[in-house]
Structure 1
């Protein structure tokens, strides 16, 4: 194996060891967070819940509540999660306890997701938080709709079905018995559109059955399309017993029928048409309370009757013929300044019983519970599920597991496309080649400079015999013409470019001596010897510039190759945006940033190569000048030692 091959092998091993050591050292850097639920998940973010005076300001008890987490491109990186969101995990504030959740909607292309999470024991008037983990491509789905709601929740309809009856997400499986018309783009994903004629029926299951005076909670998001008088949104009747939740010219009401007659809550301020509102009805201890957008709207002093039959959504069944008319309820109080009416108490009063009109409008997120939910629970749901939940819920920045790739740099690298990685790998190879060449050339020139200095110290001591320092080639055992150099010193100076030039000159002089007789070198002989020295000079110059072309390629080709990767990456990013139709900055920024990585990589190749090239060119120039000066000095001494006058002096001295 040649010395050059051995040197390159050692240099390559050293570079590989350095790279491995650097990688190992970087993995020891601390993570952004100190605790981590499971290291298989790469990313997490804290979700803050604020029901204190600075947030939603809920002072009533809340308890365990299903919470809607809205994810979008502004608060979640869909590209780093699984395509179906099955790697999502929610963990309590202790970073140990997993929370039940299920996904209502997931669209990674549009960057939209709706996820329901069961938060246990939310304290009123305080701040709390929980964790969202994602970024595990091997994770299995963990959706648990049944576990998201407590056992007292009898029915939950998200209305995200299309062409099939609504599916109950609670543990009781109270699926709808008829198909309704889907309403796209509802408040929470898809909703249900009611036209006043088509009614969706709910099953007469035991879990939906109600005992006389039993507690009860009904809640939904509603958007009336018109001010229809006496319209039924939800109804349930068993003979003379009945319950109807509806709107009367935009004013929500609850109507209760039993053997004593029919009672209806008072009329408050109407809601605006075509606007979403959270409507809830809570029955407990002989009082039925209507909540509108989380605040009490009206009350009715009555208990709900026993009901076991089917329920209807969007209309009402005809009332029984034997129903006794009762008087109207007390007038409602005047609306307050914010457009809502204060709570209205209504005692039983005679009203005429007639069939109600069907409700016209949209409904979303219907929930029925077998207990009376607290005012805090109702206000929490109204605030958190609404169109502006920012006062209650907030998202922190992403945190990553312990890794040298963290923060914004990790986001950028993970967004690089395949074509970008191809360019980057090519640039890494180019960079490695330029570093190897730089190391090789710097080492070679340092060795040359040291050997040249040592040789010149001996050369300038020569007085009359220019061949006295010549030891021949490295594989020659005998000294040439009685060289004054020892073997160890000769091994050192043989690495000198000046010695190699000198060696050729000494050989030329030796060839012109016959039987060690002094001869005279004429002008033609000196010119011939100089030509031989010049040829060695050219070869030594080529040896100094060996592989320097690798650095010039890195300097000029690196940025252009990186620019090619950037341009292709930008083209792909804009093509993907055009296909998806999503033009927000959060969708564009990661792709553009990732495309620019190729340009950065190209510059990282070119800049070190440029510095190394300029340094090496300077050193090459110095060594080249030394060789030119030495040739002039050698020729001058040769003319001095072997001219006619010098030979005469030598002969006289010999006699």
Structure 2
């Protein structure tokens, strides 16, 4: 019956922690990952391109476009990838179709990478997903810069070359003909610097020839040193035809000269000096549309003239020669009439100054891109990229943590968090040791007390029969009724030790022979011995219980300390990197909360065990108190001192 009672108590005491562990495992157990593109890559993460209202808010058509993917320590594990990023692979949302990509910059030491990925048929007003795979040290490099851009893209300069002309990364190989200084810290990695005098010359390539009324898309990121009137960003002319893109006191404009007739776009707000902005325009038929930072700034009802000459970035084209300047084309004019002949009018762009400032990411296409394409490039390449692109947590191909949140959280825990978790682990080990030790001890106590009480209460009312000495152990043997196994169990019982202490006091008083009677004072002395034994047994029962109270009260506070420090470090890292999107913050915050979870994991089992053990200790203490009273009463009955023998002894 005693064992049945104990089993019932243990079930009530441990059902709650068991349920807590089961629920925790159900929540944190890794979710099955979707189909894996290639099992040789151990890690992947989903990249979401949000063109809907919750993201970039693009409603116009986009089409196939290169997307700039910025990787940093907040969204990518550089230590798990190859040192040069050669194992990076991008796969479409179907997790089957590889996407072309190339690397503009990859620095695993600094934790920064710039990768261009060609995403086919990007839809406006919705979320588009692609996958990034990495974690294959044996994978060969598979970059394809030419394949990243469609055949309509004629020229792309990243300006990531230093000391050499800017290289065209498209299949058309329209690399620059002159060198301009590099500019570190541009909008996308490294840029170029223009001083307003030295121009960057484009090649005289057949692929860059512009037909009359043809299509064209032109875009460039710029940062003015200071506002200036008529600053030329791009110019191209041939005879009486010309095309100029510039900034007039910060207001972007497109100017077309066709057959000597000049037309310039008007309108638009001025951009500020010292800040990056994208200037772009599209031409189709008799319509030119100018964009600033992806938004339409002005339109011009004009078509492109035929141009086959050399184009330049950062300086105006030279003035075109006119027939009046040809000496063979007309008879000589009298000297007196020379002042009466006005000189040929120069184009406004011809007299304009060159652009002074930094430039980056120059692109030309032979088609007119849709407005959604222009806006996506402005947002996706600029400082507001977080509106467009977000990163999910990493998923793994195998292992207990594969594809689950728990592994991502643990990988994000910082050193200070592991220190706190380590201290909590030590505290948890101590608390569980105390639980096991106290429960096993109380089990032995319960069994020994049960056997002892059974024999104690089955004896006669005369307690002297219980005090027969065992010849080998010098302990009461209950009249030789106990087997060796039962005697071992009884020796672990506090009631037995109290009984043995009382029996020892009785034997001391009868060591010299005489009447086997005890005075009231002797009985009170024996009770005092039993009371002191009760205190010692209570201390033995409560041994190490203070460790559980420390775990209950100290575990959550220690975990909270780790969480607060982790949150502080996370926000400091975010401030240092300048990336404030939720995907950079969430892993650090989640990892910081691991310390609090660990603290609760120490405190909750300790709380349940403490309450359970306290109840059982209280039961044993009550049992000892009852036994002391019962034992003293039986001693008083068995060794009562009558009045007559006392008188005779006195005489």
Looking at structure 2, the residues matched to 149 and 269 of structure 1 have their Cα atoms a distance apart, in angstroms, of 32
Indicate yes or no: 2:623 matched with 1:626. yes
Within the candidate set 522, 547, 554, 2:518 is matched to 522
Partner of 1:217 in structure 2?
Answer: 216
1:223-622 equivalences under 5 Å are 228=229, 231=232, 233-235=234-236, 244-247=243-246, 251-255=253-257, 262=259, 266-274=263-271, 276=277, 278-282=279-283, 287=285, 290-293=288-291, 297-298=299-300, 300=302, 304-307=306-309, 310-319=310-319, 321=321, 352=345, 355-360=350-355, 363-369=359-365, 371-375=366-370, 379=374, 384-385=379-380, 393=388, 395=390, 398=393, 400=395, 413-466=410-463, 468=465, 480=477, 482-485=479-482, 490=487, 492-506=489-503, 509=506, 519-523=515-519, 526=523, 530=527, 533-534=530-531, 536-559=533-556, 561-562=558-559, 565=562, 569=566, 572=569, 580=576, 582=578, 594-595=591-592, 597-622=594-619
Q: TM-score, normalised by structure 1?
A: 0.69
Residues 385, 553 of structure 1: CA spacing in aligned structure 2 closer, same or farther, 3 A cutoff?
closer
Shift of 1:232: 6.8
Give per-residue Cα distances to partners, 1:556-606, cap 9 Å, x unaligned: 54355446545654665576577x385969677765665554355335434
Looking at structure 2, the residues matched to 200 and 242 of structure 1 have their Cα atoms a distance apart, in angstroms, of 20
Partner of 1:638 in structure 2?
Answer: 635
Contact 1:105 1:114 in 2 (8 A): yes
Looking at structure 2, the residues matched to 374 and 585 of structure 1 have their Cα atoms a distance apart, in angstroms, of 29
Contact 2:28 2:405 in 1 (8 A): no
Looking at structure 1, the residues matched to 63 and 301 of structure 2 have their Cα atoms a distance apart, in angstroms, of 23
Looking at structure 2, the residues matched to 167 and 267 of structure 1 have their Cα atoms a distance apart, in angstroms, of 31
Looking at structure 2, the residues matched to 443 and 185 of structure 1 have their Cα atoms a distance apart, in angstroms, of 67
Greater displacement, 216-225 / 148-157: 216-225
Partner of 1:96 in structure 2?
Answer: 96
Contact 1:229 1:248 in 2 (8 A): yes
Shift of 1:643: 3.2
Contact 1:31 1:401 in 2 (8 A): no
Partner of 1:329 in structure 2?
Answer: none
Looking at structure 2, the residues matched to 481 and 248 of structure 1 have their Cα atoms a distance apart, in angstroms, of 111
Give per-residue Cα distances to partners, 1:8-41, cap 9 Å, x unaligned: xxxxxxxxxx99x979966994528644546722
Helix, strand or coil at the partner of 2:458: coil
Looking at structure 1, the residues matched to 188 and 471 of structure 2 have their Cα atoms a distance apart, in angstroms, of 87
Contact 1:315 1:359 in 2 (8 A): yes
Residues 593, 229 of structure 1: CA spacing in aligned structure 2 closer, same or farther, 3 A cutoff?
closer
Residues 138, 532 of structure 1: CA spacing in aligned structure 2 closer, same or farther, 3 A cutoff?
farther
Give per-residue Cα distances to partners, 1:93-137, cap 9 Å, x unaligned: 2122232234556899999976432112346x7756122437859
Looking at structure 1, the residues matched to 552 and 60 of structure 2 have their Cα atoms a distance apart, in angstroms, of 64
Shift of 1:437: 1.1
Partner of 2:46 in structure 1?
Answer: 44
Looking at structure 2, the residues matched to 478 and 593 of structure 1 have their Cα atoms a distance apart, in angstroms, of 62
Contact 2:190 2:360 in 1 (8 A): yes
Greater displacement, 242-251 / 107-116: 107-116
Contact 2:146 2:171 in 1 (8 A): yes
Residues 473, 430 of structure 1: CA spacing in aligned structure 2 closer, same or farther, 3 A cutoff?
farther
Structure 2, gaps ≥5 residues long: 1-17, 326-343, 646-651
Helix, strand or coil at the partner of 1:78: coil
Residues 549, 36 of structure 1: CA spacing in aligned structure 2 closer, same or farther, 3 A cutoff?
same
Residues 77, 138 of structure 1: CA spacing in aligned structure 2 closer, same or farther, 3 A cutoff?
farther
Shift of 1:474: 12
Contact 2:396 2:402 in 1 (8 A): no
Contact 2:237 2:307 in 1 (8 A): no
